[in-house]
């Protein structure tokens, strides 16, 4: 059984291409300079329509987390940690914490991005506690 | 319309639940029909009097045109007929729409009916598929969050920000069970303790099994009409005094605030319409898919200050006879939770409480109630304020 795979879309292609290449990419608005996540056709802050893909630092802090003890499917090996990450550039994203003792995780801990293969063609950004 | 536009304009004049719990061999549509016929009998009218119909779809029996299919089954021919889906918030957003339809003359007498069979009508694979399809398909689902996990993110943030404890969340489940113990219709009636909750197995930290609501079958219906017509019905009318909604996000990763929800805006709008406040409520029915949901709603709806929900719950206020009895039927935690229809049971219970016919669990001399539901992950909120009289 496979882990849940994200459906591909033209808009998000640079994001997933970046993840394959080991880069966390965010959209940045050309008019207000704000970063956003998830990718959209417009800026969530100012509704500007010109957005550039940029490579994020990969640094963030844990905004919240949970240790999933009953997995969503057999493809997931419980316990595993699902977290909300506040990225250094501003946006918040959901991700997983990997290579960590679930009992040691706490809100506010700094994290840095890593990448895990979900399939032969898809990698997902995950995070390590620094 | 002004802020008080719908105040006192409509009333609930019929209410009924089917049996709830584990009901194999009966489809959601059949449960809808059973609930509707019982609500019609309660209102003392026949099906021909219904000229408006609002339903929601059933996960165990999804239909392309659910409301039309129900009307066809029952052979009613409404002039207003819609199917609404807003997750757990569906019941009360439907009520808001239906009240507006009556006030604007789209219909005179509306039947709201919904049922589902999450317990008996879905295979384990189907149930897990529905669960795994919650969340953003590209940016959340791949990480394997479960429905309890989304709410656990809120609970964990509340604990870190305000020092709320697992024992304080647990008290919410204990209070719900204490109410259910007084309700012969409830699915789970054996009393539980805080220790039982925190010693039940962890599902998604900090949520234990007993912090999570039930999985049930069941259906429920109400009949609503204009306040003028309501006087002609056999029971004490239950008037809609206030209603408000708040919508902040769909996906929890996009919520601007994890510990304050759009229940605050929904509540403020409903209180303003009713000209009443939290202190005027004799009881409250608060959406309780998981215990932290109730805690955040208590704060956002003004029953205690932000951050003090844990202490408020731990005081025993929510229990039968407490300062603010919450979920007097036992709630989703102990009465039943058949999915989107879940809050219907909080609504019918509120009708019986305000008619003063709730039996052993009657809240003494109840005049006003607040009922609140939310759908998504604290995403879509509707607050109703109900009362025996229009002031």
Residue B262 belongs to domain with CATH number: 3.40.47.10
Q: Percentage of chain A surpassing pLDDT 70?
A: 100
Pick A67's closest partner by Cβ from B140, B143, B204. B204
In a domain, B325, yes or no: yes
Position A47 pLDDT exceeds 90: yes
Owning domain of residue B46: 10-122+214-387
User: What is the number of domains present in chain A?
Assistant: 1
A38 vs B139: CB contact, 8 Å cut-off? Answer: yes
| A contact test, residue of B144, B290, B378 with most A CBs within 10 A | B144
As a three-state string, the secondary structure of chain B is CCCCCCCCCEEEEEEEECCCECCCCCCHHHHHHHHHHHHHHHHCCCHHHCCEEEECCCCCCCCCCHHHHHHHHHCCCCCEEEECCECECHHHHHHHHHHHHHHCCCCCEEEEEEEEECCCCCCHHHHHHHHHCCCCCCCCHHHCCCHHHHHHHHHHHHHHHHCCCHHHHHHHHHHHHHHHCCCCCCCCCCCCCHHHHHHCCEEECCEEHHHECCCCEEEEEEEEEEHHHHCCCCCCCEEEEEEEEEECCCCHHHCCCCCCCCHHHHHHHHHHHHCCCHHHCCEEEECCCEHHHHHHHHHHCCCCCCCCHHHHHHCCCCCCCCCCCECCCCHHHHHCCCCHHHHHHHHHHHHHHHHCCCHHHCCCCCCEEEEEEEECCCCEEEEEEEECCCC
Q: Could you tell me if residue B127 is inside a domain? A: no
Nearest Cβ partner of B156 from A7, A12, A64? Answer: A64
B132 lies in a domain? no
Q: Answer whether A6 sits within 8 Å of B144, measured CB to CB.
A: no
**Chain B closest CA to A13's CA: distance in Å?**
11
Q: How far is B198 from chain A (nearest CA, A)?
A: 15
**Does residue B200 sit within a domain?**
no
pLDDT digits (tens, 9 = 90+) for A59-85: 999 999 999 999 999 999 999 999 999
A2, part of any domain: no
Report if residue A7 sits inside a domain: no
The residues of chain B scoring below 50 in pLDDT are: 1
Chain B positions contacting chain A at CB under 8 Å are 128, 131-132, 135-146, 148-149, 152-154, 156-157, 160, 201-207, 251-254, 258
pLDDT of A28 above 70: yes
Task: Indicate whether A3 belongs to any domain.
Answer: no
pLDDT (0 to 100) of residue B2 = 54
Residue B138 domain-assigned (yes or no):
no
For residue A52, is it within any domain? yes
Tens-digit pLDDT profile for residues B46-104: 999 999 999 999 999 999 999 999 999 999 999 999 998 777 888 898 999 999 999 99
- Chain B residues with CB under 8 Å of A24 CB are none
Contact criterion met (CB < 8 Å) for B204 and A7: no
Question: Is the complex ipTM more than 0.90?
Answer: yes
B250 three-state secondary structure? coil
Whether B153 is covered by a domain: the verdict is: no
- Residue A21 in any domain: the answer is yes
CB atoms near residue B324 (< 10 Å): 21
**Contacts of residue B146 in chain A, CB cutoff 8 Å?**
68, 70-72
Q: In which domain, by residue range, is A41 found?
A: 13-129
In the prediction, which pLDDT does B391 show? 82
CATH code for the domain of A96: 2.40.50.840
pLDDT of B149 reads: 97
pLDDT score, position B3: 64
Q: Look at residue A24 and tell me if it is in a domain.
A: yes
Residue B191 domain-assigned (yes or no):
no
Q: What local confidence, expressed as pLDDT, does residue B134 receive? A: 86
User: CB-CB: which of B140, B154, B203 is closest to A70?
Assistant: B203
As for how many domains chain B has, the answer is: 1
Q: Is residue B105 part of a domain?
A: yes
A20 found inside a domain: yes
The pLDDT value recorded for residue B4 is 74
Is residue A105 included in any domain, yes or no?
A: yes
pTM of the model: 0.96
A118 vs B142: CB contact, 8 Å cut-off? Answer: yes
Which residues in chain B are contacts of A68 at CB distance < 8 A?
144-146, 149, 204
């Amino acid at each position: 059984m496979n882990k849940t795979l994200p459906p591909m879309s033209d808009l998000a292609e640079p994001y997933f291409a970046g993840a394959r290449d080991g880069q966390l990419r965010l959209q940045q608005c050309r008019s207000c300079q704000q970063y956003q996540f998830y990718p959209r056709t417009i800026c969530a802050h100012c509704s500007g329509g010109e957005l550039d893909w940029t490579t994020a630092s990969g640094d963030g802090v844990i905004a919240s987390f949970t240790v999933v003890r009953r997995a969503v499917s057999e493809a997931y090996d419980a316990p595993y940690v699902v977290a909300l990450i506040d990225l250094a550039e501003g946006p918040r994203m959901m991700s997983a914490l990997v290579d960590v003792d679930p009992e040691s995780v706490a809100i506010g801990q700094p994290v840095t991005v890593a990448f895990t293969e979900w399939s032969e063609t898809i990698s997902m950004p995950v995070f390590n506690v620094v | 319309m002004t802020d008080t536009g719908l105040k006192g304009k409509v009333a609930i004049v019929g209410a009924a639940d089917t049996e709830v719990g584990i009901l194999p061999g009966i489809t959601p549509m059949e449960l809808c029909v059973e609930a509707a016929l019982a609500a019609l009998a309660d209102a003392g009218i026949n099906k021909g009097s219904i000229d408006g119909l609002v339903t929601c779809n059933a996960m165990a029996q999804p239909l392309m045109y659910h409301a039309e299919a129900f009307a066809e089954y029952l052979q009613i021919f409404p002039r207003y007929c819609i199917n609404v889906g807003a997750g757990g918030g569906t019941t009360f957003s439907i009520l808001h729409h239906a009240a507006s339809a009556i006030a604007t003359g789209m219909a005179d007498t509306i039947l709201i009916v919904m049922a589902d069979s999450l317990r008996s009508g879905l295979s384990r694979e189907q149930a897990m598929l529905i669960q795994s399809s919650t969340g953003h398909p590209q940016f959340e689902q791949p990480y394997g969050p479960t429905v309890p996990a989304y709410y656990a993110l809120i609970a964990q943030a509340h604990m870190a920000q305000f020092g709320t404890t697992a024992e304080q969340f647990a008290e919410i489940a204990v209070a719900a069970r204490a109410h259910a113990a007084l309700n012969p219709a409830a699915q789970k009636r054996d009393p539980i303790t805080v220790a039982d909750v925190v010693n039940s197995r962890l599902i998604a930290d900090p949520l234990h099994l007993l912090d999570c609501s039930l999985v049930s079958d069941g259906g429920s219906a109400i009949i609503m009409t204009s306040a003028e017509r309501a006087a002609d019905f056999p029971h004490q009318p239950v008037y809609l005094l206030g209603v408000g909604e708040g919508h902040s996000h769909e996906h929890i990763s996009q919520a601007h605030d994890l510990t304050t929800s759009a229940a605050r805006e929904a509540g403020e709008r409903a209180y303003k319409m009713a000209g009443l406040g939290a202190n005027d409520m004799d009881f409250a029915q608060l959406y309780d898919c998981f215990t932290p949901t109730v805690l955040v709603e208590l704060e956002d709806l003004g029953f205690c200050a932000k951050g003090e929900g844990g202490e408020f719950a731990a005081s025993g206020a929510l229990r039968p006879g407490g300062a603010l009895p919450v979920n007097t039927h036992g709630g989703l935690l102990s009465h039943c939770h058949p999915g989107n229809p879940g809050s219907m049971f909080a609504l019918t219970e509120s009708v019986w409480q305000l008619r003063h016919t709730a039996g052993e669990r009657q809240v003494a001399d109840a005049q006003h109630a607040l009922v609140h539901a939310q759908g998504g992950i604290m995403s879509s909120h509707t607050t109703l304020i109900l009362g025996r009289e229009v002031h």
